Amino acid sequence: MKIAAQTEKGFLIAVETEELYRLIGFYSCYDQKKPRNHEFKIGDEIQVSAMYQQLYNLAEKQSKLTKIAAELRIVADVLELRDPVIAKLTEVPEVKF
């Protein structure tokens, strides 16, 4: 991305197609998730601020998410340890006729 010119409200930038697709959230211009036959045209607006805000919010919550994930792992470990005991307690004896 290169600043090409300055305007009263900001800048005009030159962006390669690949970088433009990454900027709007796709891995590349070949990403399977992007709309078919999508092409950019002059006048298209890209809401970079909204995308940045979402990434910023995720980064801010990362430590909390990491803590929650660790707590869930502890619960899963406890459940796996107790699983054989619970299975034995709830086992229904086979009745033979």
Q: Do the domain assignments include residue 80?
A: yes
Give me the tens of pLDDT residue by residue for the chain, a chain 97 residues long.
Answer: 899 999 999 999 999 988 888 888 888 888 887 777 778 889 988 888 888 888 888 888 998 999 999 999 998 888 777 777 777 777 767 777 6
Count of structural domains, the chain: 2
Residue type, 97: F
pTM over 0.75: no
Residue 34 backbone dihedrals phi, psi, to 5 degrees = -75, 150
The DSSP element (H or E) to which 12 belongs, if any, is strand 11-14
State CA 97 to chain mean position distance: 57
Q: Do the domain assignments include residue 35?
A: no
Q: Do the domain assignments include residue 84?
A: yes
Residues 52 and 85 in one domain: yes
Q: Do the domain assignments include residue 76?
A: yes
- Residue 17's domain comprises 1-30
Q: Do the domain assignments include residue 8?
A: yes
Q: Do the domain assignments include residue 22?
A: yes
Q: Do the domain assignments include residue 41?
A: no
